[in-house]
Structure formats: C-alpha cells, structure tokens
Amino acid sequence: MRSGQLVTDQLARWKLTKGQVKHASGLNNSRRDTERWLALIKPHLQHLAAASSAGTSLVANLKHINVTLATWDAVWEVYLDPKWAQQRLRLYGAQDRALDQFFKKLE
C-alpha cells in the first residue's frame, strides 16, 4: 500500500440526503401543518385562483376585485394567526442546524 492511499474497507461512508435534511429540520412537519391550516380556507383559495387578474380585460379585473373583497376577511383571518409567524421562526435556520448536527457526528 502506498503512502496516502486509503483502503476502501477502512472508510466509513457518510451520506446525508435531502430527505434527511428535510426531516431533521422539521420541514416535513411544517408542510403537513400548512396543508392542515389551509384546508380551512381551501374553497376561498380556489375561488381566488379561478378569478385571476391576468390579462387586460376589464371584466376579468372586476371579477378578481369582487372575489378578493368577498374572500378577504376569511383568508386573512387564517393568515394573520400567530402560528404562521412561529412556524417561519422555527424553520429559519433549521436546515443549518440539521447540517451542523450531521457534521458534528463526523467529528
């Protein structure tokens, strides 16, 4: 064996997948929470999506404005709940913490 050559049997293989990072950072749980929270206003969101403001048609723009005004209170009541801000704060830097934990295991 030459100097500096590593024998493959002596190498430990460490692998960190995207799925492991998502799990360790709590991203999967946050996605499920978001889906559950948005289920309450799903009909409103679908109604908003159907009334797109894209284009230059005055009728389409008026429809979009009317739908937005009709769904405004229900949608923003959900979006302004403090749980959304708490979730963003938890996820902020969570991926970095997950990577730090992985690299600490290597030391």
- Look at residue 83 in the predicted model and tell me its pLDDT: 95
Residue 47 lies in a domain: yes
Q: Is 54 part of any domain?
A: yes
- 103 to 32, 46, 48, 71: CA distances (angstroms): 27, 43, 45, 47
pLDDT of residue 101: 86
Question: Is 9 within a domain?
Answer: no
Residue 14 lies in a domain: no
Domain count, the chain: 1
Residue 60, domain member (yes or no): yes
pLDDT surpasses 80 at 64: yes
Domain that holds residue 34: 25-106
More confident residue, 60 or 11: 60
Is 49 part of any domain?
yes
* 6 domain residue, yes or no: no
Give 9's pLDDT tier (boundaries 50, 70, 90): low
